[in-house]
Chain A
Amino acid sequence: MGNGYAIEVKELHKDYGDVHAVQGINFTVERGEIFSLLGPNGAGKTTTISMLSCLLHPTAGDAWVMGHSVSQDPMAVKETLGMVPQEIAIYEDLSARENLTFWGKMYGLRGDALRQRVDEILEMIGLTDRQKGRTGKFSGGMKRRLNIGIALLHKPQIIYMDEPTVGIDPQSRRKILDSVLDLNKQGMTVLYTTHYMEEAQELSDHIAIMDHGKIIAYGAHEELIKIVGELDRITLTLNMESAGVLDAWRALEGVKTVSAEDGTVHLFVDDSNLVLPHLFETANRSDVRITSVAIQEPNLEAVFLHLTGRALRD
């Protein structure tokens, strides 16, 4: 199996007792592309990536990584991939060089080849000058870079990056996104999980949107946007809740959907310029005041909202 794909996933399930963390997902990742799993926390992204890296056994179904089954041939799968876990997984009482040397050995590197590769990675992640310092004293950004460098030691064909930008500053985040693009340019296939719509949108050739253990949308960025068509998204904040206003808005011409959530109202409309005056007029008649207005072009956030009725960052 595998059919030439970097990753092929078929009917993959993972259950924890009565909890169905992943419910029969299917997708393929082409060789040399960046593929993102996008979804809110708890959607099943990390469980999926854990099964694809042979950390978890699937309850049912299977997946093939570079043609190797994660169920039948996990050791071959592990040789092809480099894993960048969500949390920084390094030994803080060892130096950067000691960390890279140890992890290199775990990937089967030895002797001069190992030393040379460690030097290359230190150069690549900009830690050559700090290679002998204990990593416990490194800044968060330096640790993140080392965390990524470890996954590159054995020149893997595929790299998995599980939410690598969570909780870091914008500058470090930018560097990580650039490094993902650089790796991809070098021919590496990247499987990237995130709950940041902007990252998936910027990086990915293909995106699978996950929610509650299922893939609810799958395709290239442009294909996903077509799900919400050419609709504009208007987000309003009201001074009071009013079911009557929402019903009145639903009845307006050009309004496709209306959903309210925590005092915020989301509308998908054909043309925001035409609809907006009518929204204010209707609200005024009901003595409801609109306190803020935001208009957005169609994006993945809108796709997720359109498909689930919830914002992506829930």
Chain B
Amino acid sequence: MKLLDVAFKDMTRSFRSAFALAFMFGVPIITAFIFFLAFGNVGSGEITLARTKVQLVNLDSPSVAFNPATVEMPEGFEGADTAAGVESMGELIANVLRSEGLAEIIEITETGDAVQARASVDGQEAGVAVIIPAGFTDAVLSSQTSAEIEFYQDPTLTIGPSIVKSVVGQLVDGFTGAKISIAVALEQLEAAGVQITPEQMQTVVTHYVQWSTEQSQRGTGLEVRAPQVPDAEGEAPDWVAAMIGTVLVGMMVFYAFYTGTTSAQTIITEDENGTLPRLFTTPTPVAAILGGKYLASGLTIVVQLVVLVIAGQLIFGIVWGNWLLVVVSTLLTAAAAATFGIFVMSFMEDARQAGFIYGGVVVVTGMLGMVSVFTAGMPNPPTGINTAALFVPQGWAVRSWTLAMNGGTVSEGLLTVGVLLAWSALFFLVGRARFNKRFA
């Protein structure tokens, strides 16, 4: 009973602190709201991005005549005039970049001079230059040679060049796949004593590119599951709400750990202010006093997360996915954050030291844990960067919430649940042992 009294007292104090409330609720919601204003166009859900100026240099001229009739462009790239005038694979890429689907976000200027194109980027007249080398088609059709499309971008720009790079990369991936397929097919055909003509080879390549592009459009190949968030009509997925959901998850986890650490810091500050020693002079077991403080920390974070989840749904229309996993994520994030705070604070000598050190620990581990949030919008995040987040509990908490938002189930998240439980148990046992020793 006294344990609950201590917990209630601590929670009352926490929720009376304007400073604590600001960091528990204000900052995460405001941060998500800033993203909402920046990308959400408040209410319409439409994207408002400046068009990226692209300098396109197509130097490709195949040694064998290219057959355009076999190419039909997949959904999303309609409008590219693929049926006529396409004489090379470089031209095929150019047509895709000229397509109506991309016209709202990129503005193509074509030139035959690669040096001039790079100069335009250097002079910030264009955001990116795409330079398709001579012999690109021949390189694709040959198993002996290779070629590179040069992607020259303004380093100060991110989103526009990333989109262009993603589109070109998708097509080049298709060509590369085709090249490998052709090499394998040729070996098989030669082994069977069959010879194919260059025209037949073109047909194989173009079919392969069309097929691979369609597969990635339809998501029937290797699937990357995105958050399922309905738009205002509740029909199609809303990527803005999904992105804000990802941001809010990052903020929730970061500030849950912040709350856990500041809550645990009250053990040190109460010790210095004399209220903790005074508590120890009352007929209340030390275990009930410290246990009450640990419980208050955990419950405060649960309240914080529940409020943020509800706010996220009501304000930003975030659909949190599997509710059972959301509940599990809430409890485990609270457990991990509260015990993390106890663990960190058990090493602090005094409040002054705690103020300096825990801020650094929370920020560094929090940032590392949110790597997957930062890289969510990157088309090609550096290999292994998301794995780095799993070295800290925040990374596992983000993973748990992300899985819930993506419609994952508790059984799919068993590893994450287990790891979060293990982190919590480890932090609690070490932190409790150190505090018990200090206050024995």
Contact = CB atoms under 8 A, between A and B. Distances in A.
Given A83-B278, A85-B277, A105-B2, A91 B283 contact: no
Interface majority SS (helix, strand, loop, mixed), chain A? loop
A125 interface: no
Contact of A78 (B274, B275, B281): B281
Interface residues of B, number: 19
A55 interface: yes
A78 B281 CA distance: 6
A81 B9 CA distance: 23
Contact of A55 (B2, B12, B277, B283): B277
Contact of A79 (B273, B277, B283): B283
A150 B282 CA distance: 11
A54 B440 CA distance: 11
B9 A102 contact: yes
Contacts of A98: 12
B279 interface: yes
Given A102-B5, A102-B9, A78 B283 contact: yes
A293 B274 CA distance: 43
Nearest to A102: B9
A79 B277 CA distance: 15
A307 B367 CA distance: 64
Select the residue from B273, B274, B275, B285 with max chain A CB neighbours within 10 A.
B275
A107 interface: yes
A294 interface: no
Interface in B1-55: 2, 5, 9, 12-13, 16-17
B284 interface: yes
A98 B273 CA distance: 18
A106 interface: yes
A87 interface: yes
Contact of B282 (A86, A88, A106): A106
A91 B281 contact: no
A94 B281 contact: no
Given A53-B281, A108-B283, 18 more contacts: A55-B277, A55-B280, A55-B281, A78-B281, A78-B283, A83-B281, A85-B274, A86-B274, A87-B274, A88-B274, A89-B274, A89-B275, A91-B9, A94-B12, A102-B9, A103-B282, A106-B5, A150-B278
Closest 8 CB pairs of A and B: A89-B274, A106-B282, A89-B278, A83-B281, A78-B283, A87-B274, A79-B283, A105-B5
6 contacts: A55-B280, A55-B281, A93-B17, A94-B9, A106-B283, A150-B278
Interface of B: 2, 5, 9, 12-13, 16-17, 273-275, 277-285
